[in-house]
Structure 1
Amino acid sequence: MSHQFKPGDLALVINHTYPPAIGLCVELVSRHLVGPVDRRNPMDPGVYEQAKGDPIWVVAEMEGQADCIVWEKWIMPLRGDFAPEQQKSEAVLA
């Protein structure tokens, strides 16, 4: 699924390698294209920009936590044309 995200949009983290990040509401800060992650050296972040890489976003948690990165495929928009439709509840009159 491809979205037209832009900086400042709100999104929900729906997957992450760091489980506590899942479910966070974040603000998108900047988009980057990166190559595959190299996990062999634990001191090497393994994420490097590449012209034909996969999209990631630097995000800021809404509650003032530190910035982190999230793969674009792991975020869901929370507003705008691409946001999931809200179900409207119908009040039952008694």
Structure 2
Amino acid sequence: MSHQFKPGDLALVLNHTFPPVIGTCVELISRHCVGPVDRRDPMDPGVYEKEGGEVVWVVSEDKAIVWGKWLMPLRGDFAPEQQKAKEAEPCA
């Protein structure tokens, strides 16, 4: 599922590795493209900018990072978008 998000949009967090974040409404701050996460070193955050990577958003909740695929747009009266979303811009 891809959406045409832009900074300042509101979104609902559908999934997250930190369960209390699920179901919260967040404001999108900035879009980034990152490479795969390497969990072998617990001291390494494992999220690095990478051309052609997956989209993540920095969001208002304590400047957390949320994968774009885990966000549902909220527009107007906070109803989910009904029309088919256009393809998101690729990471360059």
- TM, length-normalised to structure 2: 0.81
Match of 2:63 in 1: 67
Q: CA deviation at 1:67?
A: 1.1
User: How far apart, CA to CA, are the structure 1 residues paired with 2:81 and 2:33?
Assistant: 29
Match of 2:72 among 64, 67, 76: 76
Match of 1:23 in 2: 23
User: How far apart, CA to CA, are the structure 1 residues paired with 2:15 and 2:21?
Assistant: 8
Runs of at least 4 residues of structure 1 off by over 6 A? Answer: none
- TM, length-normalised to structure 1: 0.80
Could you say which structure has the larger radius of gyration?
1
Structure 2 gaps of 5+ residues are: 83-92
Q: CA deviation at 1:85?
A: 5.7
Match of 1:49 in 2: 49
Q: Which has the higher contact order (CA 8 A, sep 6+)?
A: 2
The yes-or-no answer on 1:34 pairing with 2:34 is yes
Cα RMSD over matched residues?
1.6
CA contact (8 A) 2:12 2:73 kept: yes
User: How far apart, CA to CA, are the structure 2 residues paired with 1:49 and 1:27?
Assistant: 21
Among the aligned pairs, what percent are the same residue?
Answer: 76
User: How far apart, CA to CA, are the structure 1 residues paired with 2:3 and 2:40?
Assistant: 32
Q: Deviations over 1:37-59 (max 9, x none)?
A: 01111110000000010000000
The 1:85–1:70 alpha-carbon spacing in structure 2 relative to 1, beyond 3 Å, is: closer
Aligned residues: 80
